[in-house]
Chains A and B, each alone.
Chain A
């Protein structure tokens, strides 16, 4: 899956995108984030407060509970602050 990160999350992780094979038991966006957080300290730090994370799956805003269901791209980012 293509994983992309923006703003504070991108800076905490240290890069803006990567491709990763996800374990097949990961079902939801939240599963994926928890799994990433367990892989290395930079992810753990970036994802420490889930209340400050937002997600887009194949460019649609989704929630922690949303099923990954073969999506190609997951974006993880802080609450938006445009305008």
Chain B
């Protein structure tokens, strides 16, 4: 089971991960990225390149399945306005044993951060807004998997 979705709707982590648990593996790993409450940020706006984003996420999921013995994977990313403390991204993987599920999950989020065409803008309580700058450490973590 592979599922990739880009959505303007809130992500229900428990509901999205339940089908992975039902696949019969002994391990489900997941990562949830949350809109962080930094410096009066009230919401994150997520822009993306629709013609490209889904293809990149599908390619990452395919690569994860090629590298690890996965039984299933989900990769869901929100776009549009996201209030702080709501999920932005959910990655879930399932395998027979934890090492494969955990590694594949880390691979998917690390590579999504550097390869998928999404851009975050932080909206603050005073009405100001600022584009988020990429972190050098994101590039380092992503390159580890190449």
12 contacts between A and B (CB under 8 A): A6-B117, A56-B117, A59-B51, A61-B115, A73-B51, A79-B133, A80-B113, A80-B117, A81-B120, A81-B133, A82-B46, A83-B77
A77 within 8 A of B: yes
Interface string of B97-125 (1 = CB under 8 A from A): 00000000000010011111111110000
Q: A4-B49, A6-B117, A83-B116 are in contact. List 12 more A-B contacts (CB 8 A).
A: A6-B119, A56-B52, A75-B117, A77-B119, A78-B131, A80-B114, A80-B116, A80-B134, A82-B48, A82-B112, A82-B117, A82-B118
Q: Is the CB of B52 within 8 A of A75?
A: yes
B89 within 8 A of A: yes
Q: Is the CB of A82 within 8 A of B119?
A: yes
Q: Is the CB of B89 within 8 A of A82?
A: yes
Interface size on A, as a range, is 10 to 19
Residues of the B chain whose Cβ atoms lie less than 8 Å from the Cβ of A75: 49, 52, 117
Could you tell me which A residues sit within 8 Å of B by CB distance?
4, 6-8, 56, 59, 61, 73, 75, 77-83
CA–CA, A56 and B56, complex, Å: 12
CA–CA, A6 and B113, complex, Å: 16
Closest CB of chain A to B66's CB: distance in Å? Answer: 19
Q: A7-B119, A83-B88 are in contact. Are A77 and B112 (CB under 8 A)?
A: no
Q: Is the CB of A80 within 8 A of B119?
A: yes
CA–CA, A7 and B115, complex, Å: 16
Residues of the A chain whose Cβ atoms lie less than 8 Å from the Cβ of B133: 79, 81
Closest CB of chain B to A61's CB: distance in Å? Answer: 7
Residues of the A chain whose Cβ atoms lie less than 8 Å from the Cβ of B118: 80-83
Residues of the B chain whose Cβ atoms lie less than 8 Å from the Cβ of A82: 46, 48, 77, 88-89, 112-113, 116-120
Which A-chain residue is minimally distant from B79 (CB atoms)?
A: A82
